[in-house]
Amino acid sequence: MNKPFAAAVLISALTLTSCGTSFPADPDGTLDRVSGGVLRVGASENDDWVTVAASGEPEGSEPALIREFASRLGAEIKWSVGTEHVLAADLKHGELDLVIGGLNDETPWEKEAGLTRPYTESKDSRGKTHKHVMLVAKGENAFLLELDRFLMAKAPK
Amino acid sequence: MKPSAARGAVRFGHTELPEEQRAALRKAVKFEWITLGFLAASTALVYAVLGNSQAMKAAWVEDLLSFLPPLSFLIASRTIRRRPSEEHPYGFHRAVGIAHVVAAVALTVMGAYLIVDSGIGLVTAEHPTIGGFDLFGQTVWLGWVMILAMLLTAGPPVYLGHVKMKLAEKLHDKVLYADADMNKADWMTAVAAAVGVAGIGLGWWWADAVAALVISASILHDGVRNTRAAISGLMDKRARTYDDAEPHPLGSRIDAYLSGLDWADTAKSRIRDEGHVFHVESFVVPQDGKMPSMEQLESARNACIDLDWKVQDMVIVPVAELPAEYLPGGAASGGES
């Protein structure tokens, strides 16, 4: 009974992937828009992850990763520097594509945003382990998968 | 799982099971353990890839709830073996009905909760986020893994359901029937969840919530149907077949047998279903108002008990005329078909 159904699901899914349509696709087309366009990144200062230079340009390990990611997509970065609170709200309302700030997978913004896979770990001074993630707009799964793939390839093994 | 005291003497209360039912019970216990094993594996697998999909969450909750009927069955099938005692003169057969109500209410509550939960997701246009998953060093879309997990868990319950359905008929066990019925429909849940996730992949954020609603509705439907069946069982509704499809034919067989006795004029019974076995009260009007002898009554009772293993707890009451207050509906007896 379930075999024909299963086959139908698989075949339709496979057909769609091979048609060149991105699978998974972004409901709001983030990946398409960003590729060769503008990547809007929110950065919140946090330790060595994100620091903001006197010039106003974000520096640190995460901005470095994002610059490389953007150059792969042929995208220009438009930075917004602010507190997590403001950036998460901007992300939720589609005014940003990505938020960084040395966030971990216990981030309270999980309700407002999609999380990448934890791409690295760190230990704080109290010995607690943090699994680091970045935030993307909810449901933009093609963009998220692209970022996940990039971060996984970069992840220190 | 080991059979009670003397092998070969498996009892439900004081009813000794015939060989066919004994074998069916052994097999049912075995298959319920297999079901529990499968469920443990499948809930663990689905939990590992749950992600942010509401449909997967609903399917997972259904898997968790699927533990209840087999557990109820296994617990009840032990409890009802206890013999009737002074404090429990009717035995412990109702354990089955109680287990049934508990499982059914859990289904109903969770079904209703999931409908609200999924409905909120749909109304607030929640876009489910599903990203990458590390599969042996490769980053693949987690959605593929979810779909694979759902399709893997879709098949086995269908088989288990078919086997248990046959056993439910032999044992006249409604908990086993409900369990088998849910198992048989389980593949639809799995496929619905897989379709929901595939929909997310196509960029249809709503597909997930819609699939979750479909699954929740099926859980609620199962819950309401089972609650109704379980409660009407406890309310001493007239005995019906294991699938509640029709009144149990045993009633008319008993009435026909008793009416056909040479000392009897007419007979009607009322029968309640205690879980596996029946309580039978048969009212017999003797011919010409002549009281039957003790031997005649005894042999009639024994003959009825021999009709079917489910009849054991039986009383025959000679009456001047059929008491309408105990046999409402006139012609209809306890189990006329």
- Check residue B197 and give its pLDDT: 95
Provide the ipTM: 0.83
Domains and their CATH numbers in chain B: 11-234 (1.20.1510.10), 238-337 (3.30.70.1350)
- pLDDT of residue B75 exceeding 60, the answer is yes
Partner residue facing A24 (CB), from B139, B141, B155:
B141
pLDDT bin (cut points 50, 70, 90) of residue A11 is low
Average pLDDT over residues A130-151: 93
Shortest Cα–Cα distance, B116 to chain A (Å): 18
Q: Tell me, what CATH number does A131's domain have?
A: 3.40.190.10
- pLDDT of residue B333 exceeding 60, the answer is no
| Residue A6 belongs to some domain of the structure | no
Per the CB < 8 A criterion, the answer to whether B12 and B81 are in contact is: yes
Q: What letter does residue A44 receive in the DSSP assignment?
A: -
| Residue A49 belongs to some domain of the structure | yes
- Check residue B229 and give its pLDDT: 86
B248: its two tokens: 């149990």
pLDDT bin (cut points 50, 70, 90) of residue B2 is very low
Average pLDDT over residues B247-271: 94
| Residue A121 belongs to some domain of the structure | yes
- Judge whether B162 is closer than 8 Å to chain A, CB to CB: no
Q: Are A141 and B129 within 8 A, CB to CB? A: yes
Which distant-in-sequence residues (6+ apart) come within 8 Å of B124 by Cβ?
Answer: none
User: In chain A, whose CA is at the least distance from the CA of B200?
Assistant: A24
* Listed range (A51-60, A73-82, B117-126) with the worst mean pLDDT: A51-60
Site from B50, B130, B202, B204 to mutate, A interface, most A CB atoms within 10 angstroms: B202
| Residue A4 belongs to some domain of the structure | no
**How many structural domains is chain A composed of?**
1
**A100 lies in which domain range?**
24-154
CA dist., res. A7 & res. B115, Å (int): 28
- pLDDT of residue A12 exceeding 70, the answer is no
| Residue A8 belongs to some domain of the structure | no
Which distant-in-sequence residues (6+ apart) come within 8 Å of A30 by Cβ?
Answer: A97, A136, A137, A140, A142, A143
- Check residue B332 and give its pLDDT: 44
Q: Are B155 and A2 within 8 A, CB to CB? A: yes
Q: Which amino acid is at B262?
A: D
| Residue A148 belongs to some domain of the structure | yes
Which distant-in-sequence residues (6+ apart) come within 8 Å of B40 by Cβ?
Answer: none
- Judge whether A24 is closer than 8 Å to chain B, CB to CB: yes
pLDDT bin (cut points 50, 70, 90) of residue B312 is confident
Q: Are B147 and A145 within 8 A, CB to CB? A: no
- pLDDT of residue B278 exceeding 80, the answer is yes
pLDDT digits (tens, 9 = 90+) for B93-125: 888 888 889 888 988 999 999 999 999 999 999
In chain B, what percentage of residues exceed pLDDT 90? Answer: 64
pTM for this one?
A: 0.83
Give A3: exposed, middle or buried? Use CB within 10 Å, 0-12, 13-18, 19+.
exposed
CA dist., res. B287 & res. B138, Å (int): 86
pLDDT digits (tens, 9 = 90+) for A88-112: 999 999 999 999 999 999 999 988 8
Per the CB < 8 A criterion, the answer to whether B209 and A139 are in contact is: no
pLDDT digits (tens, 9 = 90+) for B204-222: 999 999 999 999 999 999 8
| Residue A14 belongs to some domain of the structure | no
| Residue A119 belongs to some domain of the structure | yes
